[in-house]
Amino acid sequence: MRSCFLILLLLSVNFIWAQQGPVKVVETKSKNRIAFFAVNETHTPYDVLFDVKGSNFRQSAAKPRWIRVPAAAKVHLKTIILLRDKQPVYTKNLKVNDSLSKRALKKEFEVLDIPPPKITPKKQITVYTNSRCASCDSIITKLNTENYIFRSVSLDEQPGVKEQLGKFLAKSTVEMDSLSQPVISLGGRLYSWITSYDQLLEELEKD
């Protein structure tokens, strides 16, 4: 009995998720038509089943089919034709499934410009830069390109931070003023010898 209850609970949670899932329906209206599109703003493909019920419009009598909505894409679902001088009244129903079926209808789609999700590193990254640092820009550019979450702090603009870093690194103010490489904090540990993105990744992956 308990096992049956758990199964029913999981099915109900999955149903709620499907109704509130990542694919949304948008409408485009013209003179006598309303077109419905599925918009997937995630980086995961889904199959969707869509239907419209109501009055004062005509639509295809064909049975609704599951339609593939690729990742970061917009797909036409269906179009209804409005009756002349009538106000359409309708309800929409969308079911979403992340288990992709070979039988799902694959239609033409519009690719959406959706940025990839941010990557949370194993250790918090802070890059302390300075105007003499030749490798700072390339490291920061690579972190941005790979979509890592990190902080960048300019020591030229934060003299108090530079002074504190000098104490932690056991360097004098003169040495900090002539610093020509970044100071990088990984999980609170400071590194003054990392000069490339590959070195940063190597240390980031160490336990």
Is there a single domain that holds both residue 75 and residue 134? no
Find the mean pLDDT for residues 162-178. Answer: 76
Give the 3-state DSSP-derived string for 62-121, with helices as H, strands as E and coil as C: CCCCEEEECCCEEEEEEEEEECCCCCCEEEEEEEEECCCCCCCECCCEEECCCCCCCECC
Lowest mean pLDDT segment, chosen from 126-130, 138-142, 203-207: 203-207
**Out of 93-102, 165-174, 180-189, 197-206, least confident range:** 165-174
Convert the pLDDT of each residue in 27-38 to its tens digit.
999 889 999 999
Residue 45 lies in a domain: yes
Check whether 11 has a pLDDT greater than 80.
Answer: no
Name the pLDDT band for 7 (thresholds 50, 70, 90): very low
Q: In whole angstroms, what is the distance from residue 178 CA to residue 188 CA? A: 23
The β-bridge partners of 46 are 69
Does 39 lie in the same domain as 89?
Answer: yes
Looking up residue 133, the CATH number of its domain turns out to be: 3.40.30.10
Q: Helix, strand or coil for residue 161?
A: helix
pLDDT number for residue 157: 93
Q: Bridge-partner residues for 148, per DSSP? A: 119
Q: 82 with 33: CB under 8 angstroms?
A: yes
- On average, the pLDDT of the chain sits at 87
Q: Are residues 34 and 100 in the same domain?
A: yes
Output 70 or 4, whichever has higher pLDDT. Answer: 70
pTM exceeds 0.85 for this model: no
Number of domains in the chain: 2
Token pair 């105007």 is found at 131
Q: Does residue 13 belong to any structural domain of this protein?
A: no
Please state the rounded mean pLDDT for residues 112-122: 90
Range of the domain at 65: 21-111
Q: What is the pLDDT at residue 173?
A: 56
| Residue scoring higher pLDDT (206 or 63) | 63
Quickly state the pLDDT bin for 17 (edges 50, 70, 90).
very low
> According to the model, what pLDDT value does residue 176 have?
78
Picking from 111, 137, 170, the residue at the C-terminal end of a domain is 111
pLDDT score of 15: 35
Residues contacting 130, CB < 8 A, separation 6+? 136, 154, 155, 156, 162, 179, 180, 182
